[in-house]
Amino acid sequence: MTSELGTDDSRRRASRPGRYSCPVTRIESSGSLVRAEIDEAALRANAETLAGRLSPARLKCIVKANAYGHGIDIVAGSLFAAGWREFGVATIPEALALREILGESAVISAWLHGPETDFAPAVGAGIEIGVSTLACLDSVRDAARRAGRGARVHLKVDSGLGRNGFSPADFDDALHRLEEIAAGPVPGASGAPGASSPTGIEIVGIMSHFAVADEPERAETAEQVAVFDSARRRLRAVLTAASGRLGDPDRLDIHIANSPAALTLDPLPGTSARVGLALYGLSPLEGRTPADLGLRPVMRLVSEVVNLKHVPAGHGASYGLTYTTEHDTRFALVPGGYGDGIPRAASNRAEVAIRGRRYPVVGRIAMDQMVIDVGEGAVDLGDEVVILGPGGPSADEWATWSDTINYEIVTRISARVDRTPLPPGTR
C-alpha cells in the first residue's frame, strides 16, 4: 500500500515539472501553522462537471491570482495531468510563470497589460495575448518582430461591462488597423527573422466579459451577447478578406462566458468559456450552494489549537477587548489572522470547527492569531481547527461575515500559508 502510493506520487511528480515549487508566490512547503489543503480529486471532478455542461464549447481553466489563492502549481499541474490544456491568467508575468510549470504544450492566455508591457518574452514563450487597445496591438506586432515568432492574439471587446476591451467604436479602428496590416508589406520579406505567420500576427480569438451573468433575470447579458456577436461577425469578415494573412476565420476561438454564465446560459455563446471560481468548487450564484451546482469545494484551510486556558467571567479577548466573557470559560488560541488572509472584518462574527462542532471567534482577529471561546466543549491542545472548507464554515459564510464575496475570501489567502495536495482518498 505504502509503496504503491510512493510509486504513484513519484510518477505524478515526474509528469508535472515544478509541481512542488510555485514561481508565482514562491511558496515552499515550510511547515506553516495554517495550511490550505487542496483536494485535487474535487478539482478534477469540478472540471469534468463544468466541461460536460459547456460542451461542445471547451473549458479554459482560469488560474490567475495564484489559482484564486489555491496555489497555481498544484492546481494547474493537477488539471494538466488530468488532460486539460487551456489556461488563462490575467498578466504576462503570471503567464510566463505558468509556462514554466506546464511546459510548451499548454495553451496559455493573458489579457491585462500596461502601456509599457514588453510582449517579446510572452510572444517568445508562445503566450496568447488578449489585446484591448490599438497601442497594445502595435506593441504586440513589434514584439513579434523582435521575438522572431508570430504573435497569437485574442481581440478583447467591451460589450457592456465598461472595463477592459475595445469599445465598439475603437473596435472599428482595430479592424482598420488589421486591414492595413494585411495589405502592408510582409515582414518576413522586409527583414523580420522567422516570423511564423505572414504578417507576424495571428488573430486566434475574440473575447469579451459579462457584467451581470450571476443575475440570470437581467436583460444586459443578452444585450452583451448581441454586441459581441456583431463584433465577431465584423472581425470574421476582415479575416476572410485577408485570405489567411491574419489567421483562419473558421478557427476563431470565441469566448465571453465566465463561471456564472457557464452555469446559467443555455445555449452557451462561444467556442470556449473562461471558468475560474466554479473550478474551485465555489458558487458564483446567490442562493445556490456548490452542491446545488454539482461542485465540490477544493480548499480546506486548517490550523490547530496551540494554547488552551481557563478564563473567568468578565475576561476580555484580543486587541481592544471588544469581547468580554459572560461566564467562566476556556479560550483556545488558533494561529490564523489577517497576515494569512483571514479577514479582520469577520472579528466577533466568524466561527470555526473543532471535532465537527462550531465555536465562535471572539474579539478581534489579529495579524497572526485568533481566539476561540470553546466553553466546556471537547477541545484539546493540538486539535485540528477547520477555518474554511469541508467540515467547517464555507467561503460563503466567511464572505457574509466580512461583507465581501467568496472570490475574495479564497484569493486573499496569503503567501504565508502552505498549499498542500490532499493525500488521495482522505476525503
Out of 64, 156, 280, 323, which one is annotated catalytic? 64
Q: If phi over 0 gives left and psi between -120 and 50 gives alpha, with beta otherwise, what is residue 31?
A: left
Q: Work out how close the CB of 414 gets to ligand PLP at its nearest, in angstroms, rounded to a whole number.
A: 19
Residue with Cβ nearer ligand PLP (35 or 209): 209
Residue 131 to residue 201: CA distance in whole angstroms:
12
Q: Which of 101, 58, 110, 116 is nearest to 253 (CA)?
A: 58
Task: Could you list the beta-strand ranges (E) of 140-271.
Answer: 151-156, 201-207, 253-255
For residues 214-237, b (16+ Cβ closer than 10 Å) or e, as one string?
A: beeeeeebeebbebbbebbebbbe
* CB closer to ligand PLP out of 62 and 299: 62
| Rg, the chain, Cα only | 24
d(CA 107, CA 157): 21
Shortest Å distance, C-beta 103 to ligand PLP: 23
- Bridge-based pairing state of the strands 272-275 and 253-255: unpaired
Nearer to ligand PLP, 274 or 364 (CB): 274
State the Cα–Cα distance between residues 188 and 191, nearest whole angstrom.
6
Task: Tell me whether residue 156 or residue 419 sits nearer to ligand PLP (CB atom).
Answer: 156
Query: Does residue 64 carry a catalytic annotation?
Result: yes
Binding site for ligand PLP (CB under 6 A): 62, 64, 90, 111, 209, 258-259, 274-277, 284
Q: Which residue has the cell 481581440?
A: 155
Residue with cell 473543532: 354
Which residue in 60, 68, 156, 319 is the catalytic one?
A: 319
Q: Nearer Cβ to ligand PLP, position 111 or 359?
A: 111
SS3 labels along 93-147: HHHHHHHHHHCCCCEEEECCCCCCCCCHHHHHCCCEEEECCHHHHHHHHHHHHHH
Enter the C-alpha cell of residue 414: 496569503
Contact predicate 76/82, CB 8 Å: no
Rounded least distance, CB 133 to ligand PLP, Å: 15
Provide the pairing of β-strand 299-304 with 272-275.
Answer: unpaired
User: Which residue is at the shortest CB distance from ligand PLP?
Assistant: 276
Nearest CB to ligand PLP, comparing residues 63 and 353 = 63
Give the bridge partners for 358, in sequence order. 353
Please indicate if the annotation marks 163 as binding a ligand.
yes
User: What are the catalytic residues?
Assistant: 64, 319
Residues annotated in a binding site for substrate: 163, 367
Residues annotated in a binding site: 163, 367
